[in-house]
Amino acid sequence: MATPAPVAALNLSARFPGSVTADARPGYSGWIVEKGKLLEVTQALRDEFGCDYLSSVTGVDYLPEGKMEVVYQVYKTTGGPGLLVKVQVPRADPVEVPSVVSIYPGAELQEREIWDLFGIQFSGHPDLRRILMWEGFAGHPMRKDWKEAYYEEDGKPFKTRWPEGKHALAESKNPFGDNISYPAGFDPEKWIPEDAEKALYGALARYEVRDEAGLGTDHVIVNMGPQHPSTHGVFRIAVMLDGETVVSLKPVMGYLHRNHEKIGERNTFLMNMPYTDRLDYLSSMSNNFGYALAVEKLMNVRPPERAEYLRVMMAEMTRISNHLMAIGALTNDLGAYFTPMLYALEERELILDIFEAVSGARMMCNYFRFGGVARDLPEGTLQKIKDLFFERLPRRIDEIDRFLTENEIIRARGIGQGVLTAEDAIKYSAAGPLLRASGIPYDVRRAEPYSIYDRFDFEVCVRQNGDIYDRLMIRFDEIRQSLRIIQQAVKQLPEGPVAAVKPAYQVRVPAGEAYGRVEGPKGELGFYVISNGKPSPWRYHVRAPSFINLTAFGPMCTGQKIADVVAVLGSIDIVLGEVDR
């Protein structure tokens, strides 16, 4: 692959003199764009500079400076590092920024999230509603002056714990209701949205009501979930149907929302590590990886060689275990009820055995530390890894492949169904297997190699049809590539320390911003962290692939039969811990 021109070298201020300036704050990078020029600049970025992929959009509340900022990350899908573009607006309601959905449709759900959590309005957004909090909620929880229920102090550790740590149950100190501000006269128990139909289903496109030979047609709205076995968690899908055909579909989420990012901004840097486990709880090692990379960028440390190898091994094991789960769950959704799932789970359990031996937990691994990993491989674990990844898994993966992929029912329900074209995949900021199954060979491990991925021989898997079947098959392909990486890593694993710095519970993180991204099993997982030199991050944002991949969910289902909605969702592979955060 030819190396593309590095995006960072683009000189935006030369192209837009006066309205774009380089971000000169110490520790920051990218460009600050004047609000009025945002659409023009983003259009130029996409069309002239080739940054066709909007990876993430997020807000930052600079309360002391009286400013709010929206941060855009754009990339070229041909690879290379990304570019940060920022818009700053005064922090006085209404805070308003133009929506970039018309240029990058992938911003749709993300802008809704920023509106919901920061109260920044995006003018021109087609469907600006709350997304994680409920309709009728007052306030914007990610604002720095917003206090959550059970609020104690702005930052941890709390003074009440030591040395006079008389225990008190949080719930008895702060009975439900305290610290939550409702609008005057609002009773959450009795509240019904003004126009419930509009609030809940207003965004669904209706089709024309026709009268065919005296038989009137009308739309039907179906709510799948939030309690539905196919939604893989507490997740709702509102669909508008014409007969059995999907006319319009909107994902409804937030049932598992715990304001992970707010918790993250109260936590110290280290405390966030075990919290990242709980994002995509099937892939905690990958989550650790992304967060560690972001903070290490700020701290300017690099882990020692052995730790790098251990990190890569763990991350690839996570990918295999995640994809096994995805294959099992997707075949469940296709009606192959639980036999394939259990075959897949069997292998996954053995991977979790290794995680447990190494990190102490099967799923909440909390294994990465800044500048290394928590501990070296315990005695005997390397042999277990060799047994599993050189002998058993290659054989078993082939068996599961044989078991499923020629099955006529799976082929009939998968081939040509739920198609996401390459163009749409980029447009909707799809990432990971979803993007690659649509023919775009974009993989962060190759596009912008991190850690030591540049040393391994592996292929970026890609499939061309973008249908459910390809998204199933690409997971088999990726498992096989991960096996290759693990085998190489085991062979090359050097001796040595596993931590670059002496373990410390208070880490000093210099002021600045950093974006650490990894190719997680579900797609690009990024952590945007801003430090102001204090013990807690000023801003901690997660670019969650499960969440952003849902942007394409509606378009993929339109025109499909309702029964296929379940399969399309299964083929995206989401985890609600990460969608809702």
Partner 1 sequence: MNDMYGKGILKGLSVSLKRFIETYADDLKWIGKRYRTEEGIAHRSSKDGRGIFTIQYPEEKLPVPEEFRFVPLLVYDEGPDGEKIMRCTSCGICSRVCPPQCIWIVRSVDPATGRPFPDPAEFYVDADVCMNCGLCAEYCPFDAIKMDHDYELASFGRSLFDKARLAKPASYYETIRPVNSGRENAARAAKEAARSAAQAE
Q: Which residues bind partner 1 (CB under 8 A)?
A: 152, 156-158, 160-167, 169-170, 267-268, 270-275, 339, 343, 346, 349-350, 353, 356-361, 364, 366, 374-375, 378-379, 387-388, 391-392, 399, 402-411, 503, 505
Residue closer to partner 1, measured from CB, 180 or 350: 350
Name the residue with tokens 């807690």. Answer: 536
Q: What Å distances lie between residue 287 and 226, 318, 353, 415, 448, CA to CA?
A: 26, 10, 19, 32, 18
**Closest distance between partner 1 and the C-beta of residue 163, in Å?**
4
**Closest distance between partner 1 and the C-beta of residue 525, in Å?**
20
Residue closer to partner 1, measured from CB, 388 or 530: 388
Residue 450: CB atoms within 10 A of its CB come to 18
**Spatial distance between the Cα atoms of 446 and 51, rounded to a whole number of angstroms:** 17
Q: Tokens for 389?
A: 């990844």
Residue closer to partner 1, measured from CB, 61 or 277: 277
**Closest distance between partner 1 and the C-beta of residue 344, in Å?**
12
**Closest distance between partner 1 and the C-beta of residue 560, in Å?**
23
Contacts of 276 (CB under 8 A, 6+ apart): 284, 287, 288, 290, 291, 527, 542
Residue closer to partner 1, measured from CB, 103 or 377: 377
Residue closer to partner 1, measured from CB, 247 or 299: 299
3 state SS of 405: coil
Residue closer to partner 1, measured from CB, 148 or 353: 353
The separation between the first and the last C-alpha atoms of the chain, rounded to the nearest angstrom, is 36
**Closest distance between partner 1 and the C-beta of residue 40, in Å?**
44
**Spatial distance between the Cα atoms of 558 and 48, rounded to a whole number of angstroms:** 31
**Closest distance between partner 1 and the C-beta of residue 4, in Å?**
40
Would you say 5 and 80 are in contact if contact means Cβ atoms under 8 Å apart? yes
Residue closer to partner 1, measured from CB, 291 or 442: 291
**Spatial distance between the Cα atoms of 369 and 269, rounded to a whole number of angstroms:** 10
**Closest distance between partner 1 and the C-beta of residue 387, in Å?**
4
**Closest distance between partner 1 and the C-beta of residue 503, in Å?**
7
Residue closer to partner 1, measured from CB, 272 or 438: 272
**Closest distance between partner 1 and the C-beta of residue 145, in Å?**
22
Q: Which of 159, 269, 165, 267 has its CA nearest to residue 505? A: 269
**Closest distance between partner 1 and the C-beta of residue 581, in Å?**
16
- For 328-339, b/e burial (b = at least 16 CB within 10 A) is bbbbbbbebeee
Residue closer to partner 1, measured from CB, 160 or 217: 160
Q: What is the CA radius of gyration of the chain?
A: 24
Residue closer to partner 1, measured from CB, 275 or 515: 275
Name the residue with tokens 């650790």. Answer: 288
Q: Tokens for 548?
A: 């952003």
**Closest distance between partner 1 and the C-beta of residue 168, in Å?**
8
Q: What Å distances lie between residue 444 and 72, 77, 107, 212, 233, CA to CA?
A: 18, 10, 20, 52, 28
The C-alpha angle 400, 406, 411, rounded to 5 degrees, equals 115
Contacts 24+ apart (CB under 8 A), 384-393: 384/353, 384/354, 384/357, 385/313, 385/354, 385/486, 385/490, 386/490, 388/350, 388/351, 388/354, 389/317, 389/483, 389/486, 389/487, 389/490, 390/487, 390/490, 392/347, 392/350, 393/320, 393/347, 393/483
Q: Tokens for 550?
A: 């849902």
Q: Tokens for 576?
A: 């609600």
Residue closer to partner 1, measured from CB, 109 or 542: 542
**Closest distance between partner 1 and the C-beta of residue 343, in Å?**
8
Residue closer to partner 1, measured from CB, 301 or 350: 350
